[in-house]
Amino acid sequence: MRFFDHLRARLSWWDGRIRSLLFDLVAALITIRFGVNLETALTVPNVGLLIAAVLAFVVRRRFPWLPVVATAGLATFTGPAAAASVAAYTMARRRGPSTQLWVAGGLLAAVMTAHTYQQFPQDLHIYAIASAATAGVAMLLGLWVFQRKMLLVTFRERAEQAERERDLLAERAVAAERRRIAREMHDVVAHRCSVISLQAGALTLTAPDERTGEVAEVIRKTSATALTELRSMLRVLREDENDGPGEMSGELASDPTLSSIRRLVADSVESGENIRLDLPDPLPETSSEVGRAAYRVVQESLTNAAKHAPHAAVHVEVTAEDGDLVVTVSNRRAPGTGSDAVPGSGYGLIGMRERVTLAGGALRNGWAEDGGYRVRAVFPLQ
């Protein structure tokens, strides 16, 4: 690959393509050979002039003036009609309808007229018109190709501009939708969580027994935590991503990490759930994305276990194995019929899998051999 890249850099005069170089070389040989009288051309000055003319026509894409100069030199001992046509086409193709084109066209016309007057003085008008028509047609063809290229460039720029405008409109629509969602969450969810927190706090103070007070306090703490996380979510929705050093991938630096799993499990245990937690000591170093995703996996798994297998024993295990962080949450079969299970939305596992995938990990979930359910997420530590 490096060889081809280096070769393309060397062939930049021919648009980075070998076939363009070969085409120009063959075209130069045919153009110079056409109309050359070998008997008069086989002299040292003329041979040197022919070689220089071939080189000039080979590099005509990069230096369009060289074929014009070479045509003037060839006119001293051979017919310049073919060379003048190629030179006129090259100048028109590369420079377009500019002053350089008209100067080059006038010079080529003067060269062909002088050569015709020298070779055919009695039929000057006939040969001059024929030579001018040949070069003129070549020039018009070059102008057509030049205009076509400019038109394609214009269309490409307009298409790119339209695509940029479409992306900008899409970004504006996304920003407006995010702000609308933030307003709805603030007006509905935040209000409900605040009411729950206030009522739980009041129940904590007026609880008839100690157990009721403990449960009310757990509800109050959970509601307060939910409000804190909701504020972070609203801030993400209302602000652009990566606006500050504390934000990354649309999340805030205050979001939960791997060490927050211990507090999460403790709160669930306080509410009466049967959960056993195994964490390595010390905790492995992880990136913010991996730590956040691991926390969300445990959180969603505990929520699903509470809804679909209430009062069942749950085991949360976090280990570091072979450079990977492995998070496993398993619960046993729920006692009873499970008819009182809370219905779910069906998006919990989908969102969990998306989080794990975005963090570079892999997620497996399914029924265990003992009839329970197991969720296993593997994240790279590096």
Q: Profile the chain (382 residues) by mean pLDDT over runs of 10 residues.
A: 61 75 82 66 73 85 88 77 86 89 85 75 68 81 91 92 91 82 74 79 83 82 80 72 44 69 86 87 87 90 84 90 89 65 64 88 88 90 80
Give the separation between CA 134 and CA 116, rounded to whole angstroms: 14
The pLDDT assigned to 247 comes to: 43
Closest CA to 328 of 354, 358, 356, 364: 364
Q: At 326, phi and psi to the nearest 5?
A: -115, 125
Give the separation between CA 105 and CA 139, rounded to whole angstroms: 8
**CB-based contact 241:249 (threshold 8 Å):** yes
The pLDDT assigned to 363 comes to: 92
The pLDDT assigned to 307 comes to: 82
Q: What is the amino acid identity at position 253?
A: A
Parallel, antiparallel or unpaired: strands 324-331 and 373-380: antiparallel
Query: Rg of the chain's alpha carbons, rounded to an integer?
Result: 40
